[in-house]
Structure 1
Amino acid sequence: MTRRAFITGITGQDGSYLAELLLSKDYEVHGLVRRASTLNRGRIDHLHADQRLHLHYGDLTDGVSLSNLVRDIEPHEVYNLGAQSHVKVSFEMPEYTASTDAVGTLRLLEAIRASGIDCRYYQASTSEMFGATPPPQHEGTAFYPRSPYGAAKLYSHWVTVNYREAYDLFAVSGILFNHESPRRGESFVTRKITLGVAAIKLGVTDRLELGNLDAVRDWGYAPEYVEGMWRMLQHDTPTDFVLATGTGRTVRDFCEAAFSHVGLRWEDHVVHDKQYERPTEVDALIGDASKARELLGWEATTHADDLARLMVDADIEQLGRLIDR
């Protein structure tokens, strides 16, 4: 039997890697795409020719579209990766963030419940839910979100638990710490750094403006993390998991690794700009993924320094192609 998966956020970093993974496992993959005047499918363009990939217009803010799609697709697995996922932007668009990230999850869960289908559900939770709680953070650590994004995701997390307990739904939350790749959005700090390094190395600019250099994050590699998502839905019983490397690095450390990879000193190019700082900062996020290692056999193998180098190489190649046009 061919298994069917439904992915919200399929055009994003995680969605594109997850679609690749599921297609490699012979799934039929259905993806939710927001209607826009310009196409934003660059991350999945290379999958376009695969007849097992089906894209559908819809939105997490539209419960009717979600109900219709769940009813028509009858997925065996649902991965809710769609979100307004930029923390700084969530302070500027708090209501939209709540509607998409919090109530959007409720709409999707209710669509599954009302349809009566037997499926397994994955909720993309986030380390930002821990916020001000000191590391290391694991599944039993107290939550203390420090942004509208973190608060919206906390609602999603708990409503997923509630639907699991109230309706016996196979629903899990993956509490993923920061995970990056060359497909990361250009406004996220790691990608901003590696794009900046590429631009400086190729002579396009000579400076990079950043906010808080002291923030500590646990950075892993996105393709490894989507493998963890899939493993959570193959587990015998629904439960929540942290995915993380267990190693914390500052933004400054990431800068140093990225710049030194191309023979540059970050201190000669990075300029601090307060506009990139958050109203309330999360000082340190470092995850403990012992549960995932023991129950899923999952472990991160790519850490921050290697991640910085591979992202710089990819951005130099990409920017170089644009310059040569």
Structure 2
Amino acid sequence: MSTSEPKRALITGVTGQDGSYLAELLVSKGYEVHGLIRRASTFNTSRIDHLFRDPHEDVHPLTLHYGDLTDGSRLVTLLGDIQPHEVYNLGAQSHVRVSFDEPEYTADTTGVGAMRLLEAVRVSGVNARYYQASSSEMFGATPPPQSETTPFYPRSPYGAAKVYAYWMTKNYREAYGLFAVNGILFNHESPRRGETFVTRKITRAVARIAAGVQDKLYMGNLDAVRDWGYAPEYVEAMWRMLQHDEPHDYVLATGEAYTVRDFLQFSFSHVGLEWEKYVEFDERYLRPTEVDSLIGDASFAKETLGWVPNVLTPRLAEIMVDADVARLETEGHAHWIDVVSR
């Protein structure tokens, strides 16, 4: 690569929370970014639309390609065409509760899909460093704190699929000499989190309840303990992993433990409401097997990458609530409520 040629990166899952933040980060660093998206009848690019420039310009920081982690031959072709220097595999069926309903699809995309992408890197012969999005759900029932040496005990089809992808990444690193790393990320959230994930479900409901648009919030297990961080900080660590001299596997976490009940308290109190008045239990949101406590030890990432998370759960809840309140106001719902109530 010449000194004037920009680095090229391929991101699967580019339209998701992490993919959009990572694309922003890489564009800001001068990368030529390519994203993999599935063909659909509707667009799902709202998180990355701001990265597209005027179509009349010669250089575009982000280019999207149709493809799927279930289509290995397409992945080989794309890698050959793009010739990326870095590949970030963030694509997956990533909802834990949904994985119980769709275990085969989850295994095919989240688990075997990672193997297909690794094999495509190997077969195409591209000189690319590979990042695999692993998950704290791989630890499952293993008691915290969880680090890079903690045994896995997944408690969902999603967690089991991620374990397969984790070991395949290590295998390709050891068998073929690929620069391949696993980022074992604990829960990380943001205003771009999908609305079906528990943190965003809570903060969106808080904004709607405060505006008078919604009356109740129905929840499952409030005693689950999680280690919640801020997604933009975590994608920066992904990039750091691929800049290091040697490929390693890293846990990313805050080391702070909070229950779902705590997150409810932080979120509702931020708008001056008592969560107990609005939250009701619904067993439909329980998992067949629950993961009680996930608390990460990110000491190795701190020592090796110099990575330290700054946004902890109480502040994270406020950031997300503020964003959902602003989003609701932009949509005009709050104004409509004011007019009707007069």
Give your verdict on TM over 0.5: yes
Distance 2:177 2:204 in 1: 45
Aligned with 2:50 (options 46, 54, 58): 46
Residue 35 of structure 1 corresponds to 39
Aligned with 1:98 (options 107, 112, 123): 107
Paired letter, 1:247 = E
Distance 1:116 1:62 in 2: 18
Distance 1:64 1:35 in 2: 16
Residue 149 of structure 1 corresponds to 158
Residue 233 of structure 1 corresponds to 242
Larger C-alpha radius of gyration, 1 or 2?
A: 2
Stretches of 4+ aligned residues off by more than 6 angstroms: none
Distance 1:183 1:67 in 2: 30
Local SS of the residue matching 1:42: coil
Distance 1:52 1:254 in 2: 36
Residue 268 of structure 1 corresponds to 277
Distance 2:130 2:199 in 1: 29
Residue 4 of structure 1 corresponds to 8
Q: What's the Cα RMSD here?
A: 0.8
Deviation at 1:118, TM superposition (A): 1.0
Residue 115 of structure 1 corresponds to 124
Distance 1:221 1:62 in 2: 32
Distance 2:53 2:201 in 1: 31
Deviation at 1:321, TM superposition (A): 1.6
Deviation at 1:217, TM superposition (A): 0.3
Local SS of the residue matching 1:6: strand
| CA deviation map 1:154-191 (0-9, x unaligned) | 00000000000000000000000000000000000000
Paired letter, 2:13 = G
Q: TM-score, normalised by structure 2?
A: 0.94
Residue 89 of structure 1 corresponds to 98
| CA deviation map 1:25-51 (0-9, x unaligned) | 000000001000011001001112171
Superposed counterparts of 1:1-325, under 5 Å: 1-49=5-53, 51-322=60-331, 323=333, 324=335
Q: TM-score, normalised by structure 1?
A: 0.99
| CA deviation map 1:96-136 (0-9, x unaligned) | 00000011001100000001111100000000000000000
Count of matched residue pairs: 325
| CA deviation map 1:187-212 (0-9, x unaligned) | 00000000010000000012100100
CA contact (8 A) 2:52 2:61 kept: no
Deviation at 1:52, TM superposition (A): 1.9
5+ residue gaps, structure 2, are 55-59, 337-342
Local SS of the residue matching 1:271: strand
Distance 1:265 1:53 in 2: 43
Identity %: 70
Paired letter, 1:244 = A
